[in-house]
């Protein structure tokens, strides 16, 4: 307000590795889907200033887009016991498709990641199958799993392109992603999810 950045504090546990118990259960992924739907509904009619400056200089708002969070990972979610109390780290917010926000959330919270990264957060020891978790997330938001998987493949390709474009310019976090050689990791996860599309969809198109 009045040209000042307003910072607040959320008390709770962040969804780091290994995940809090709630994120491994149905209630966690459902809460994230419902939160994202509520957020998108809240900002759907927002029109940013034409002078708005985004983290990606090539990002531009146009009718039909929303302001995406831009970094919807479990480690940016905050929990108190079994309740989602908020989402942090909005510095990558930029105009985008609403479905892309859901796809990014599915990538990290289902998680649609390589098996070793699933194990790192604690997923896999008797947890719900990935297809079921994807369906729970999509139902909570109100989207088709097939559409989310299509959006995820596109989002991952756009992210590797952004790293290649902005990383050499020293623009963080993409410069850091470039130094850490994240592009092959993202491409591998993209190929992994695409190869398992039918399994991830199960009986749910």
Q: What is the percentage of the chain residues whose pLDDT exceeds 90?
A: 88
**What is the mean pLDDT of each successive set of 10 residues along the chain, which is 205 residues long?**
72 93 95 98 94 92 95 96 94 96 98 94 75 96 98 97 96 96 97 94 70
Query: Residue ranges of the domains in the chain?
Result: 13-201
The residues that bridge with 14 in the sheet, in sequence order, are 78
> Does the pTM of the predicted model rise above 0.85?
yes
Nearest to 166 by CA among 58, 73, 12, 34: 58
Query: How far, in Å, CA of 56 to CA of 86, rounded?
Result: 24
Give the mean pLDDT of the chain: 93
**CATH assignment of 13-201, given 3.50.50.60, 3.40.50.300, 3.90.1200.10, 3.30.70.1090?**
3.90.1200.10
Return the sign of the alpha-carbon dihedral for residues 75, 79, 83, 89. negative
User: 């930029």: which residue's tokens?
Assistant: 94
pLDDT for 204: 59
Return the HEC string of 127-152: CCCHHHHHHHHHHHHCCCHHHHHHHH
Neighbours of 174 (CB within 10 A): 22
Residues 6 or more apart from 162 whose CB is under 8 A from it?
56, 174
Q: Which one-letter DSSP state was computed for residue 86?
A: E
Q: How far apart are the first and last CA of the chain?
A: 45
Each residue of 36-73: pLDDT tens digit? 999 999 999 999 998 999 999 999 999 999 999 999 99
């Amino acid at each position: 307000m009045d040209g000042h950045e307003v910072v607040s504090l959320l008390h709770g546990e962040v969804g780091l590795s290994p995940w809090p118990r709630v994120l491994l259960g149905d209630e966690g992924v459902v809460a994230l889907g419902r939160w994202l739907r509520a957020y998108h509904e809240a900002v759907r009619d927002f029109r940013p200033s034409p002078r708005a400056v985004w983290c990606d200089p090539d990002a531009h708002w146009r009718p039909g887009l929303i302001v995406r969070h831009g970094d919807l990972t479990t480690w940016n979610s905050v929990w108190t016991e079994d309740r989602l109390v908020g989402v942090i780290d909005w510095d990558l917010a930029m105009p985008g498709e609403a479905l892309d926000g859901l796809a990014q959330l599915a990538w990290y919270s289902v998680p649609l990641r390589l098996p070793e990264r699933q194990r790192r957060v604690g997923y896999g020891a008797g947890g719900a199958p990935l297809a079921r978790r994807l369906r729970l997330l999509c139902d909570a938001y109100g989207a088709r799993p097939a559409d989310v998987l299509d959006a995820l493949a596109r989002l991952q390709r756009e992210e590797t392109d952004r790293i290649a474009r902005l990383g050499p310019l020293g623009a963080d976090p993409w410069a850091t992603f470039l130094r850490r050689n994240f592009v092959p990791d993202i491409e591998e996860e993209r190929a992994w999810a695409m190869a398992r599309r039918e399994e991830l969809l199960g009986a749910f198109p």
